[in-house]
Amino acid sequence: MTITDERGRTYGYGDLPRLMGLMTGDEKHGPAATSTLDALWVLYDRVLAVGPERADDPGRDRFLLSKGHGPMAYYAVLAAKGFVPVEWLPGFGSYDSPLGHHPDRVLVPGAEIGSGSLGHGLPIAVGTALGLRAQGLDGPRVWVLVGDAELDEGSNHEAIAFAGPAGLERLHTVVIDNASASHALPGGIAARFEAAGWSAVTVDGRDHEALYAAFTAPHPDRPHVVVARVEPKSA
């Protein structure tokens, strides 16, 4: 799917490398960004019920980028989908740019949280899902994208252990597995979630159809995790 901006330009998945290429400078964390590109695109293009016109709608889906230390792919997708102007991208990381090396929810339209410190996104997502439940909002889904190395953090272990027994069905986690975790064998991530009562599936993180099927798989009364395997970070 493509989107047409106010100047009549259209953007699709094939434009994302060019949009990412507009962002230059130091501290880019390139592998952290490119590892998320396909999962982000499938979510925003085919799954998430959110858009620029309903960024503040209480009934919108919430997407939380926990892996915020490499936000270039996120910014490229937000630009392609009309949340932020493409003209912002070349200023990435500069002093007066809203597009910082870590996303800022106050400055970046569509960003639900400020992120980048490892281990924060999943606990916030659990709290968001609980808050929506308390308000009786059973339509919106909460999605959070984390890196596999983030799962070394104790805060994430506690969030995983809580969410399963709490039956947070509207909570969805995408783990980008690029074999960078220190305390878990690559490929063992899904079992960790399943042991805590989650629905879990592992897929090729570059296969759009596999990602879509995993993202939309039913999981009644349980939170859901999709482990998206990509090339190792050191490759």
Q: Considering only CA atoms, give the Rg of the chain.
A: 17
Span 17-40, mean pLDDT?
83
Average pLDDT, the chain: 91
pTM: 0.92
Query: CB–CB of 189/179 below 8 Å?
Result: no
Instruction: Find which of 19-28, 147-156, 180-189 is predicted with most confidence, using mean pLDDT.
Output: 147-156
Query: CB–CB of 98/88 below 8 Å?
Result: yes
CA 164/CA 140 separation, integer angstroms:
18
pLDDT score for 2: 45
Q: Which of 144, 115, 114 is nearest to 129 (CA)?
A: 144
Report whether pLDDT(184) > 80: no
Instruction: Find which of 24-38, 43-57, 178-192 is predicted with most confidence, using mean pLDDT.
Output: 43-57
